Chains A and B, each alone.
Chain A
Amino acid sequence: MISIKIDIVSAEGEIYSGEATMVYAPAKMGEVGIAPRHAPLLTALKPGDVRVQDVDGKEHFFYITGGMLEVQPHLVTVLADTALRGDELDEAAAQESQRQAEEALKGASAETDIKRAQAELAEANARYRAAQKLKGIK
């Protein structure tokens, strides 16, 4: 039987890899079904189930929170997101990160005192080396 290779990967790890006779994915414009020798396709995915029918006729379900789908005639790749994405959610996350920065660095100057930083790092390094040396002597 003719089959197509399917890889589902996320940034945090490989989720599924195998041969399938049919793959269904929740594309942005509506669910797509991909059979072997499908034309090359690239589309965004929305949250939903990816269904994989493997060569033994068994169905596997994977819930994804969104991502990308790449199709080549003999290979389907699902690049799954690890978290819910959306412009507003991302924006909120960015603002949160900025707020954290402001809070954590309250009162610090916006200019890095490079001379002082270099001096301090050199000192830390010297101290570390001195400790290593002392250990060698013992």
Chain B
Amino acid sequence: MAGDKEILNKIRSVKNMQKITSAMEMVAASKIRKAQAQMNASRPYAERIRKVIGHLGAANPDYKHPFLEERETKRVGIIIISTDKGLCGGLNVNLFKRVIAEMSAYQEKKIEVDLVLVGSKSVQFFKRLGGKVVGTATNLGDRPQASDLIGAIKIMLDSYNEGKIDKLFLAHNEFVSTMNQNPKINTLLPVSTINEDSDSLQTHWDYIYEPDAIDLLDGVLMRYIESQVYRGATENIACEMAAKMVAMKSATDNAGDIIDKLQLVYNKARQAAITQEISEIVGGAAAVSG
């Protein structure tokens, strides 16, 4: 019967899809661990650099770096970290929702927003909906490198230095657990007061600076911001993989359900055909013998 064949074909095609989604699930599952390890690997650097900034701040109480100074907000910058690829459930959508809510709050206050986009998905989203995008960084892969982000970050730091923006935020997904990721917006600039470990500063001391305290503070702060953004990017990868794993798992389950249903339809159709054939034979035999 023609109908049988069609159903069988359909079952086969759904089975193929299921194979792909389950393979993607397994790939994502194995990548979560690596992504998490990479995310944690950036921690010691950020901690050390935070301490150095704390020392610098304590040792130079009269010098206020612009990065540490709160000022009136006329324009803000947001660095948005999204994924490069899709098939990860509501991960990007949730983040964009959070960002758009923030942006609309600023719009009401007549504060303009500059955007730097990391990841192809955010580029696609803001291309469609518009926005003042001053820089992008895409196709970072599963292991983003800090050097890929330098350019995008520098744009924002420069416009902060030039007074074009007065605040800088980082929007990315926070990795809570494999099942749970939270969109989050953190303030990068001005750097919030850094609580230095006071015990080491009980006695007054200062560094020997080479070449110059101000240049050094500049360099350290810049690297601090970069390390924060880098950490955000690696954390987002971990989120992407976790969300992808969950999405692909439910896709695999759904494919299984569809296969079961189609199998039932197929069995019924086959049974109906057999029944019909038997009744035809019986009818034919009755006609001959009668």
Contacts and interface: CB of A to CB of B under 8 A. Distances in A.
A contact residues, range: 35 or more
B124 to A, nearest CB: 9
Contacts of A12: 38, 41-42, 45, 145-146, 230
> DSSP majority for the B interface?
helix
Interface of A: 7, 9-14, 27-29, 39-44, 67-68, 70-72, 77, 79, 81-83, 85, 90-98, 100-101, 104-105, 108-114, 116-118, 120-121, 124-125, 128, 135, 138
B129 interface: yes
Given A11-B227, A114-B100, A121-B96, A77 B210 contact: no
A111 B154 contact: no
A83 B226 CA distance: 12
B126 interface: yes
A12 B123 CA distance: 25
A108 B89 CA distance: 26
Given A118-B100, A125-B90, A90 B211 contact: no
Contacts of B113: 112
Interface stretch (B65-73, B131-139, B265-273): B131-139
A92 B133 CA distance: 18
A83 B153 CA distance: 14
Given A9-B48, A121-B97, A90 B230 contact: no
A77 B130 contact: no
Interface of B: 38, 41-42, 44-46, 48-49, 52, 55-56, 89-90, 93, 96-97, 100, 103-104, 107, 113, 116-117, 123, 125-138, 145-147, 150-152, 154-155, 158, 200, 205-211, 213, 215-216, 219-220, 223, 226-227, 230, 250, 253-254, 257
B74 to A, nearest CB: 17
Contacts of A82: 145-147
B154 A41 contact: no
B209 A43 contact: yes
A89 B220 CA distance: 17
Given A82-B146, A112-B131, A41 B250 contact: no
Nearest to A92: B151
B8 to A, nearest CB: 22
Given A97-B154, A110-B131, 9 more contacts: A9-B48, A11-B46, A29-B210, A41-B208, A83-B147, A108-B129, A113-B129, A114-B100, A120-B129
Contact of B155 (A7, A67, A97, A138): A97
Contacts of B89: 128
Given A83-B147, A93-B154, A125-B97, A7 B210 contact: no
Closest 5 CB pairs of A and B: A93-B151, A83-B147, A13-B41, A97-B151, A109-B130
B151 A94 contact: yes
A121 B116 CA distance: 20
Contacts of B253: 135
Contacts of A68: 49, 52, 216, 219-220, 223
A65 to B, nearest CB: 9
Contacts of B90: 124-125, 128
Contacts of B129: 108, 112-113, 116-117, 120
